[in-house]
Amino acid sequence: MKTQQDIFGGLPQPKTNAQEILLTLINTGSVSIMEFPWLSGFRTRVSELNRSGLNLIADRRNKKNKFGNTFSYVIHRLPIEEVGKAKELYLKMPF
């Protein structure tokens, strides 16, 4: 059975949307609006992370919805060399 340490990669449990997005970036290496459709401030949180010093790479993707209409979204990737900085930022966030 996985413990809380295993689930969050040894980091504390997130308490805010920004922490949850950052933790997802740290654990999986990327994040997009497709993973957080319920979060109305997703783009704002990603912008805040960029302004805090993380160098995220934006990769635009196109997809078709069930009606055949094309839409685009961005996958934000965390480069491997930025993971240490991301963990430091995560630990500095208030819990």
The answer to whether residue 43 sits within a structural domain is yes
As a whole number, mean pLDDT of residues 48-67 equals: 96
The answer to whether residue 1 sits within a structural domain is no
Whether pLDDT at 86 is above 60: yes
pLDDT of residue 9: 78
pLDDT of residue 81: 96
pTM of the model: 0.86
As a whole number, mean pLDDT of residues 14-35 equals: 95
- Cα separation, 37 vs 39, in Å, equals 6
The answer to whether residue 5 sits within a structural domain is no
- Can you say how many angstroms the Cα of residue 20 is from the centroid of all Cα atoms in its chain? 7
Q: Token match 């491997």: residue? A: 80
CA distances from 41 to 6, 18, 53, 63, 65 (A): 28, 9, 19, 21, 22
Q: Which range of residues forms the domain containing residue 22? A: 14-92
Whether pLDDT at 85 is above 90: yes
- Which CATH number characterizes residue 74's domain? 1.10.10
DSSP letter at 20 equals H
Number of domains in the chain: 1
The answer to whether residue 8 sits within a structural domain is no
The answer to whether residue 4 sits within a structural domain is no
Using DSSP's 3-state secondary structure scheme, residue 70 falls into strand
The answer to whether residue 7 sits within a structural domain is no
The answer to whether residue 51 sits within a structural domain is yes
pLDDT of residue 25: 96
- Cα separation, 94 vs 90, in Å, equals 9
Q: Across the chain, what does the average pLDDT equal?
A: 92
User: pLDDT band at residue 4, thresholds of 50, 70 and 90?
Assistant: low
